[in-house]
Protein backbone atom coordinates (compact mmCIF):
# COMPACT_ATOMS: atom_id res chain seq x y z
CA UNK A 1 0.00 0.00 0.00
CA UNK A 2 2.77 2.45 0.88
CA UNK A 3 4.76 1.96 -2.31
CA UNK A 4 2.10 0.81 -4.77
CA UNK A 5 -0.75 3.16 -3.90
CA UNK A 6 -0.97 6.86 -4.57
CA UNK A 7 1.91 8.74 -6.22
CA UNK A 8 4.95 9.19 -4.00
CA UNK A 9 4.89 12.99 -4.27
CA UNK A 10 1.42 13.18 -2.67
CA UNK A 11 2.38 11.37 0.54
CA UNK A 12 5.87 9.98 1.11
CA UNK A 13 7.67 13.03 -0.25
CA UNK A 14 5.63 15.14 2.18
CA UNK A 15 6.65 13.02 5.17
CA UNK A 16 3.36 11.15 5.45
CA UNK A 17 3.45 7.35 5.74
CA UNK A 18 0.06 5.74 5.02
CA UNK A 19 -0.91 2.71 7.08
CA UNK A 20 -4.70 2.30 6.86
CA UNK A 21 -7.70 3.08 4.70
CA UNK A 22 -10.16 5.39 6.47
CA UNK A 23 -13.61 4.41 5.27
CA UNK A 24 -13.98 5.72 1.73
CA UNK A 25 -12.39 9.10 2.54
CA UNK A 26 -8.72 8.38 2.17
CA UNK A 27 -5.78 7.16 4.21
CA UNK A 28 -4.57 7.46 7.77
CA UNK A 29 -0.90 8.42 7.81
CA UNK A 30 1.88 8.88 10.30
CA UNK A 31 3.04 12.50 10.06
CA UNK A 32 6.83 12.21 10.25
CA UNK A 33 7.26 15.98 9.98
CA UNK A 34 5.99 16.44 13.55
CA UNK A 35 7.27 14.30 16.42
CA UNK A 36 5.66 13.83 19.80
CA UNK A 37 7.08 12.48 23.05
CA UNK A 38 9.12 9.26 22.66
CA UNK A 39 9.33 9.72 18.88
CA UNK A 40 5.67 8.88 18.41
CA UNK A 41 4.10 10.50 15.37
CA UNK A 42 0.72 12.18 15.08
CA UNK A 43 -1.89 10.56 12.87
CA UNK A 44 -3.37 12.61 10.04
CA UNK A 45 -6.12 11.89 7.53
CA UNK A 46 -5.35 12.37 3.85
CA UNK A 47 -8.51 12.81 1.82
CA UNK A 48 -7.95 11.57 -1.74
CA UNK A 49 -10.30 14.28 -3.03
CA UNK A 50 -8.30 17.10 -1.37
CA UNK A 51 -4.86 15.69 -2.02
CA UNK A 52 -2.90 18.72 -0.79
CA UNK A 53 -4.44 18.80 2.72
CA UNK A 54 -3.92 16.67 5.82
CA UNK A 55 -6.41 16.71 8.70
CA UNK A 56 -5.05 16.08 12.23
CA UNK A 57 -6.84 13.08 13.74
CA UNK A 58 -4.95 11.69 16.77
CA UNK A 59 -1.89 12.72 18.78
CA UNK A 60 -0.35 9.26 18.29
CA UNK A 61 -1.14 5.63 17.45
CA UNK A 62 -2.02 4.67 21.03
CA UNK A 63 -4.52 7.54 21.31
CA UNK A 64 -6.12 6.39 18.06
CA UNK A 65 -6.51 2.79 19.28
CA UNK A 66 -7.94 3.94 22.63
CA UNK A 67 -10.50 6.22 20.98
CA UNK A 68 -11.57 3.63 18.42
CA UNK A 69 -11.91 1.05 21.21
CA UNK A 70 -14.09 3.41 23.26
CA UNK A 71 -16.29 4.11 20.25
CA UNK A 72 -16.67 0.39 19.56
CA UNK A 73 -17.67 -0.29 23.17
CA UNK A 74 -20.25 2.54 23.06
CA UNK A 75 -21.72 1.19 19.82
CA UNK A 76 -21.93 -2.35 21.22
CA UNK A 77 -23.64 -1.13 24.39
CA UNK A 78 -26.51 0.46 22.49
> Is 2 domain-assigned?
no
pLDDT tens, position by position, 21-75: 888 888 999 999 987 778 899 999 999 888 889 999 999 999 999 999 998 998 9
Structural domain containing residue 32: 8-77
Q: What pLDDT sits at residue 36?
A: 75
Burial of 63 (0-12, 13-18, 19+ CB in 10 A): middle
Spatial contact of 62 and 41, defined as CB atoms under 8 Å apart: no
User: Total domain count for the chain?
Assistant: 1
Measured distance between the N- and C-terminal CA atoms of the chain, rounded to whole angstroms: 35
> What's residue 7's pLDDT?
78
Domain membership flag for residue 53: yes
pTM for the structure as a whole: 0.83
49 in a structural domain: yes
Compute the CA torsion angle 17, 19, 21, 26 (nearest 10 deg): -10
Amino acid sequence: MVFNGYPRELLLDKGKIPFANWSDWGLLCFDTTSKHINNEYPIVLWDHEMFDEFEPMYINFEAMINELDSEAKENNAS
